[in-house]
Amino acid sequence: MTANQTLRADTIQGRSLWQDAITRLRKNHLAMAGLVILIIMVVVALLTPWIAPYSYEVQDLDLGASPPSAAHWLGTDTFGRDLLTRVMYGGRVSLAVGFIATTVALVIGVFWGAIAGYAGGRTDAFMMRLVDILYALPFMIFIILLMVVFGRSILLLFLAIGCVEWLTMARIVRGQVLSLRQQEFVEAAVAMGLSPLTIIIRHIIPNILGPIIVYVTLTIPSVMLLEAFLSFLGLGIQPPQSSWGLLISYGVETMEEYPWLLLYPGLVLSVTLFSLNFLGDGLRDALDPKTSKD
Amino acid sequence: MPVLSVKNLTVNFYTRDGIVNAVKDVSYDVDAGEVLAIVGESGSGKSVSSHALLDLIARPPGKIESGHAYFNDIDLLNCSKQQMRSIRGNKIAMIFQDPMTSLNPYMTIGSQLIEVLTTHSVVDKKTATLKAAHVLEEVGISDGLKRLKQYPHEFSGGMRQRVMIAMALLTEPELLIADEPTTALDVTIQAQIFELLHALRKRYNIAIIFITHDLAVVAQLADRVLVMKDGAIVEQGTTAEIFANTQHDYTKNLLAAIPNSQKPEQYRYQVPAHNNNSILEITKLTTRFPGLSSGLFQKKQYLNAVDNVDLSLKKGEILGLVGESGCGKSTLSKTIIQLIDSHEGSVKFEGEEITSLDSKHLKRLRKDLQIIFQDPYASLNPRMSVYDILLEPLKLHQAAPKDQLDQRIKELMREVGLSPSDIRKYPHEFSGGQRQRIAIARALAVAPKVIVADEPVSALDVTIQAQILDLFLQLVKRRGLSMIFVSHDLSVIRYLCDRTAVMSEGKIIEVDQTETVFNHPKNVYTQKLIAAIPTEIPHQSPA
């Protein structure tokens, strides 16, 4: 209690929602564990070219598929490539696609939906019909077209996935904004003389962070799997490069003979997704002033 | 012998923040044909104490710790679910606060009424229909058979509450629990519902438990009164006893908080020598909303929510705007401060036309014209602390130098009666009255010249309401504000306002000095409105 009071006295001025949220997040051990694991994942992914024990493409056909051993901690695949190395390199692609594509979806979706919902009327109708049209377009064709026009590159693949994923986000956000717009505190903000953009950023978006965060934690795994699917069709990553999604899909094929080829990539992906969910839940609670009294 | 006898009822709620004693050791009896009023402010346990009897509280977190409630020798608190179902809605019926949400919008009134009958007794559909139609006519809805085929949205609020009462009466209950049944209704409708309850009680000899926060209502309707505070009964007795010889301090506070007089002399607006002193001049103002039925090739239908309104606000006065729900008073106030676009007419602020300002000039105007909303639970952003809420207008309009912002915020909090140590709390940590104080501070932050207050006290308890009204009086006087005060509550208007405008169906039908309007209403509608105010509390002898 006394510690709490001194904390308040020290920080009595100018604490924003985000600063409060960080304080609250720190107290949530599960969320912090998730955050630490994610940070470790990212750091390992960034440093992979220097710390990976083997090369991801050098094959040792004599060795073939071997179970985990002292030399190869996670074993080797059917071409005798070190699985740990391939998981580490795969992480680079999967984490990048997860974060970049989701960020693209998040930024476009939130702003598109918020503006449409807040403006209402014809602007809303026009913006949402555009979303409907894009929804109706088979996304595979859309991505293939992009690849054909701009050539194949990993970055473009990320953007393309993001450009497809934002549609649902825009719809979710618009629905939330429509109901929020009726609230008196938004009207009060208008009466105060704030500009529409400020109202959206300061008053509306903070109040829809809950559903946004939930959707983001759902989007990240789905774009990772989407990347694996596209790669499988020859539109994304090509062997000998790898991603978690690709490793898992090969692992499924050889599951009966070489279970470790499915087990370890799957485990890494699951741990990442768990961490994301815990962090997401923690963030959502931390951003809602009502959830914690202390 | 009493119909219902409650003994030592204790209900606790187990929340994350600890145990809340919602009802503490409450005992009371209700006799046949008697109206017992349970009075208290929000959170006093008045609803929980009766909802618990019918197993209508959420369990968990609620838990009935102890007690008995004998209804015809059955202990309601210790009976089987099956027994409870046969009593609830049959022998004991309930009417809820909001008739808009307690009827199923997708079912006709008829099928909802008949459902009640067929659930609780073995009757064929034809008998049930006839009975339903009969009861509808009993509660004052004529042409019952025809109205049975209609859906809830085809009834007005008062009519829906009559339907709810009809539904409650269908099974000829011995006890009717009415939980604030007229709070959501206009004053003229409220008077009609009271008359109806009176008549029905005489005819059927039903016992009624009437839960309310409004003492004026109690005076009119109840035989006995039970005053609750913090889950316990603080006072009980016959209505005459309670009003004539109030024992408990809390009841005295409740009685004193009812605004039934004029405001103190010192706050009254003195007409200055100059005539030409209106700060707001509204002429022929019309606001339209598109109507419902407009097909592609039909001419667009419009509904004039504000219809050709002329009104002026004098500098330093409080102008009351009173009317029943749907009369357009909220639309008018929002049109005045340019939250809703007007269709025709002009609003002049200090001589300047403001209906056609561009966004830059409008921002400047916002500094001078501020609004306070009805519901302090909705009008504050739940994710901003008090500091942020008050900082925003100050920064936006550069109302204070940068290095004095913190200072100004604390001053504002003190001015509206909040403790500056609460500066970084969030809205949900405050009570309703405190939240309204935050909203007032936010409006005051930019030092406006005119404040439009749209029903600012109708969501508050009566003692809190009295405090906020006095705060308004002080602020208007100290800061030289002019104010438009919108309310459906005539006694509040009478207490606070210098002049009063009465609104009906989008039009202003009477404007005059408040006392003139109340003592000598000219318009027939105004007369009806004033006659419907619950009869004044029997006068207490001066202490």
| Concatenated DSSP letters of B63-92 | EEEEEEEEETTEEGGGS-HHHHHHHBTTTE
Lowest-confidence segment of A58-62, B4-8, B67-71, B363-367 by average pLDDT = A58-62
Per-chain mean pLDDT for chain B: 83
Confidence tier at A13 by pLDDT (50, 70, 90) = very low
What mean pLDDT is predicted for residues B373-389?
A: 88
If you count residue pairs, one on A and one on B, with CB atoms under 8 Å apart, how many are there? 89
CB B163 within 8 A of CB B103: yes
Q: How far apart are the first and last CA of chain A?
A: 9
What residues of B are in contact with residue A11 (Cβ under 8 Å)? Answer: 424
Q: What pLDDT does A3 receive?
A: 41
CB of A184 less than 8 A from some CB of B: yes
What mean pLDDT is predicted for residues B178-197?
A: 80
Confidence tier at A131 by pLDDT (50, 70, 90) = very high
What residues of A are in contact with residue B397 (Cβ under 8 Å)? Answer: 193
> B541 pLDDT exceeds 50?
no
Cβ-based neighbour number of residue B205 at 10 Å: 12
In this structure, what are the phi and psi dihedrals at residue B452, rounded to the nearest 5 degrees?
-100, 120
CB of A20 less than 8 A from some CB of B: yes
Q: What pLDDT does A10 receive?
A: 40
Q: What pLDDT does B300 receive?
A: 66
Most B-contacting residue of A184, A195, A285 (CB-CB within 10 A), to test interface: A184
Confidence tier at B441 by pLDDT (50, 70, 90) = very high
Between B366, B385, B397, which is nearest A15 by CB?
Answer: B385
What residues of A are in contact with residue B382 (Cβ under 8 Å)? Answer: 185, 207, 289-290
Find the angle CA(B171)-CA(B175)-CA(B178) to the nearest 5 degrees: 100
CB A86 within 8 A of CB A77: yes
CA distances (Å), B60 to each of B49, B64, B73, B247, B492, in order?
A: 16, 10, 27, 36, 39
What mean pLDDT is predicted for residues A15-39?
A: 85
> A1 pLDDT exceeds 60?
no
What residues of B are in contact with residue A211 (Cβ under 8 Å)? Answer: none
Question: What digits encode the pLDDT tens for the residues A66-107?
Answer: 888 877 788 888 787 888 888 999 888 889 888 888 998 999
Confidence tier at B262 by pLDDT (50, 70, 90) = low
**ipTM confidence score:** 0.75
What mean pLDDT is predicted for residues A200-215?
A: 89
CATH class of the A18-47+91-291 domain in this structure: mainly alpha
Confidence tier at A39 by pLDDT (50, 70, 90) = very high
Please compute, for residue B352, the number of CA atoms within 13 A of its CA located in the half-sphere on the CB side.
9
Question: What digits encode the pLDDT tens for the residues B15-52?
Answer: 777 778 888 888 888 888 888 989 888 778 888 888 88
Residue A35: partners with Cβ closer than 8 Å, 6 or more residues away? A275, A279
Confidence tier at A271 by pLDDT (50, 70, 90) = very high
Q: Which domains does chain B have, with CATH numbers?
A: 1-91+204-257 (3.40.50.300), 265-291+305-357+367-532 (3.40.50.300)
Most A-contacting residue of B366, B377, B383 (CB-CB within 10 A), to test interface: B383
Domain ranges of chain A: 18-47+91-291
What mean pLDDT is predicted for residues B126-136?
A: 86
Distance CA A4, CA B385 (A): 17
Nearest to B207 by CA among B71, B10, B76, B48: B71
CB of A179 less than 8 A from some CB of B: no
Amino acid at position B94, single letter: M
CB of A207 less than 8 A from some CB of B: yes
Among chain A residues, the shortest Cα distance to B360 is held by: A193
Lowest-confidence segment of A82-91, B65-74, B518-527 by average pLDDT = B65-74
What mean pLDDT is predicted for residues A135-161?
A: 80
Report residue B412 CA to chain centroid gap: 28
Burial class of B241 by CB neighbour count within 10 A (0 to 12, 13 to 18, 19+) = middle
Asked if the Cβ–Cβ distance from A187 to B17 is below 8 Å, we say no
Confidence tier at A128 by pLDDT (50, 70, 90) = very high
> B334 pLDDT exceeds 70?
yes
Place of tokens 């009424």: B113
Question: What digits encode the pLDDT tens for the residues B463-495?
Answer: 888 888 889 988 888 888 899 999 888 888 888
Q: What pLDDT does A172 receive?
A: 92
